[in-house]
Amino acid sequence: MTILVSIALLFLTAASAQEIIDESCFHCHPAQVNEFKASIHSNKNTCADCHGGDININGTVVSINVMHTNFTGKPSPTQVTDFCSKCHAESTNVYKESIHWQKLNEGRPAATCTDCHGVHNILSSKDHNSSTFTENIPGTCAKCHENQTRMQALYYGISTDRFDTYKKSFHYKSYMSGGKMLATCSDCHENHNTRAQSDPKSAINPANLPSTCGKPGCHEGANNVFLSGGKIHEEQSVYLLSFDAKRIVVYFYIIMILFELTFTCGLIFLGIASKFEIRRRH
């Protein structure tokens, strides 16, 4: 009886799946296996490469058979880098210089490979659905960097308006208006080698900004430029006699626009009203 029920259940699961996959993990984790099958790793790796265990054992019997070898379950963020480094040694080594790894190594939560590249559904960065495709990168970074609770909880002192301020730049506005994304997060902050601004090796350290902006294809020949303050996401404060110039400009124009709207619309209204007066008198 129990065998019949389990066969019937198995048949239902297999029928509901788009593709019948003859792999032991699939029977219990169809969503993950399907994602993995669609990913760029599907022909090169197996589940066991990251999770351990033995995928060749028939999983329909009992799951313990699958897990009888060195099954590790969900790898920790630091373990993830070990798995990736087996094939992507260079990228992992570069990543291990970054602030993300530095914090991760200190035991604090930070982005590891899978946070940006995806877990089972890793795609080539040239794929339009990939989380590391140029136009999807801001959303990928914003997952953590726009998350106020996450950023505040970590006490890293990172403001959560980076995506919002980036949206105001020409680099992004072009994309929003149907053009191409002119520069995305990783173009300036580096992808694997992301570092704090205070780090002298950082691409966004004020001293390195001219060469970062002057990359080939971007603002070539950007030498000897005044990028000294190094604030790109927000307007740099320029002080005129201890008053912030941008505030002076904005306050001036707020008053001017309010004055002009009142004046222009008021005069139009008075002009129309005076015409009616003349018509009534005649």
Partner 1 sequence: MVELIFKRFTLNQRIQHILFFTSFILLAYTGFPLKFPEAWWSSWMIASVGGFDNRTFIHHYSGLVMIGVSVYHVVFHILEKPRYDVLFNLKDIGDFKQQMMYYLRYSDEHPKFGRYTWKQKFEYFGAGFGAVIMGFTGLLMWQPFEAMKYFPIGLVQIANLFHTWEAVLASIAVFIGHFYDEHFDKFMNLSWLTGNIPEEELRHEHPLEYEAAMKNRPIGSSEHVEHKPANNLLIVGFAKLVFTMIFLAIIIWMLWISYSVLVEAVRIYIL
Nearest to 216 by CA among 183, 176, 250: 183
Secondary structure class of 95 (helix, strand, coil):
helix
Shortest CB 244 distance to partner 1, Å: 9
Q: Which is nearer to partner 1, 87 or 258 (CB)?
A: 258
CA diameter of the chain: 104
Q: Which is nearer to partner 1, 122 or 183 (CB)?
A: 183
Under DSSP, the state recorded for 27 is G
What is the residue type of 170?
F
Nearest to 193 by CA among 106, 78, 87, 101: 101
Count of other CB atoms within 10 angstroms of residue 122: 24
Q: What does the per-residue mask of binding to partner 1 show for 207-246, with x meaning CB under 8 A?
A: ------xx----x-xx-xxxxxx-xx--xxxx------xx
Q: Are 32 and 74 in contact (CB under 8 A)?
A: no
Q: Are 193 and 95 in contact (CB under 8 A)?
A: yes
Q: Which is nearer to partner 1, 26 or 172 (CB)?
A: 172
The reply on whether position 247 binds partner 1 by CB under 8 A is: yes
Rounded Cα distance between 92 and 77, Å, is: 13
SS (HEC) of 128-147: CCCCCCHHHHHHHHHHHHCC
Among 107, 176, 242, 282, which residue interacts with partner 1 (rule: CB under 8 A)? Answer: 176
Nearest to 88 by CA among 52, 132, 54: 132
Rounded Cα distance between 112 and 118, Å, is: 10
Shortest CB 260 distance to partner 1, Å: 5
Among 149, 277, 280, 282, which residue interacts with partner 1 (rule: CB under 8 A)? Answer: 277
Q: Which is nearer to partner 1, 82 or 164 (CB)?
A: 164
Shortest CB 267 distance to partner 1, Å: 8
Q: Which is nearer to partner 1, 108 or 246 (CB)?
A: 246
Shortest CB 129 distance to partner 1, Å: 22
Size of the residue set binding partner 1 (CB under 8 A): 48
Shortest CB 31 distance to partner 1, Å: 34
Which residues would be at the binding site for partner 1 (CB under 8 A)?
A: 167, 170, 173-174, 176-180, 213-214, 219, 221-222, 224-229, 231-232, 235-238, 245-247, 249-251, 253-254, 256-258, 260-261, 264-265, 267-268, 270-271, 273-274, 277
